[in-house]
Structure 1
Amino acid sequence: MNDFFPFIIHQVIPSLNTGLFVSIKLIVPSALLGLLIGVVTGTLGVYGPGPVKKLCDFYVALFRGTPLVVQLYFWYFALPYTNFWGIRIVMSAVTCAIVGFSLCSGAYHAEYIRGGLLSIKTGQLKAAQALGMTPFTSVKSIVLPQAFRHSFTGCCNEIIYLIKYSSLASIITINEMTGIGRGIAKATFRNVETFLVVGIYYLILVSLAGILLNYVERRMEIPGFERQAR
């Protein structure tokens, strides 16, 4: 135990710093794409035509109902061996991870957005259309901004979850923080020190994301409708 801190400072932290940048490269695009997918899917699931609603429901049920690990295995290990009309799709491990995280996260975002949209009274849509606005413009300019504010807390939680389950990228050969930590532990048998630091790294990432998301939420507040103090 005399070399507890030297081991962490000289071996664990430098390696994890490399993995940190890989994790961020996975998390940021996945969070943005997942939120975009969720907004589009949630909106179409409420206001789209019947067949589109059923398609959105199927997408949400599929990606919420299957484990993320299985989804990642499919994108990385199964898809390259699947032949679509003579076309074989092969993606890099990073691309597979971003696709998997985005689609899974988007399914959860869609449900938050759908709940937010259903909380808006239909009278607002009728009033907007009475003023000559098209249904698309009414939803885009009046209903969706309100629904997004209502569902933003849930969407923030999903982004926090995404940061944590980004660690699953290591199962498809990506050396992000968890993958590098596992390699260090196997090579040195210093499991306690290694995974303690890995956990601290994730805790810091989640804390920073929470601060940023709380700032965005405050910026989205409408005067007179601020959140009540917790």
Structure 2
Amino acid sequence: MWIYAGTMAQLPLDELTAVIARIQGLLPTEEKVTTAIRLLARAAKESVPGTIGAGVSLIDGRGRRTSSGYTDTIVSQADTVQYEYGEGPCLTAWASERPALVTDLNVEQRWPRWRNGIAGLPVLAVVSAPLLAGKVSLGALKLYAAAPDTYDHGSAALLQLFAAPAATLISHIQANEAPHRMTAELQASLYTRDLVNRATGVVMERMGLRQEDAVRFLIRQAPEEKTSLQQVSERVVAGTPASGT
């Protein structure tokens, strides 16, 4: 059985099913989200002839929009301009929760700042599909092409087939990793606090300083030694004096 989508080459449904099954089969506890995205992006790129790059836009751990699992640097370059100006086909697909199709950037009127920003890049066609998990839009999957009319509505429909299982997988991975990430960050924070407290006590004893003055001393040492407060404290606790002690 085959899919026919205008300018898009024929793609066996069995092959598409196999790719999706491989992505869905990744266990959240064993595979990172970037691994799944990379598999998906590579398969999506190979499924549409003329595509020069594929990737996914997501929110990273610091709440910033970022490109993940992209197959070629052109994706990161074109995406970065979207994030900088807050406009572009991928951000539109993400926000509207509907596919965004650009058949020819030469005649496209939307996103003027983004279009001007990528004028030097070999990008003339784009198709992007949102990553929807339930009622939540997690990001967008996109394909870039160097020739106009590479993509049509059939391409957008195919991309949605890739996007659906990817969104489900990403949502599960994020849900499973979030508690572990929070626990790790909390443990690191508690470790640093305890370490600084112990280093403060050592400095107070060695230099006869009050607690607040000992803390200020440690804080000053970090930039002077071009290191972190944690590393300064580790050396003090280990018995290696910080500069000036």
TM-score range, shorter chain: under 0.3
The structure showing larger relative contact order (alpha-carbon pairs under 8 Å, at least 6 residues apart) is 1
Q: Which has the higher helix share?
A: 1
TM-score (structure 1 length as normaliser): 0.27
Q: What TM-score do you get using the length of structure 2 for normalisation?
A: 0.25
Look at both structures and tell me which one has the larger radius of gyration over its CA atoms.
2
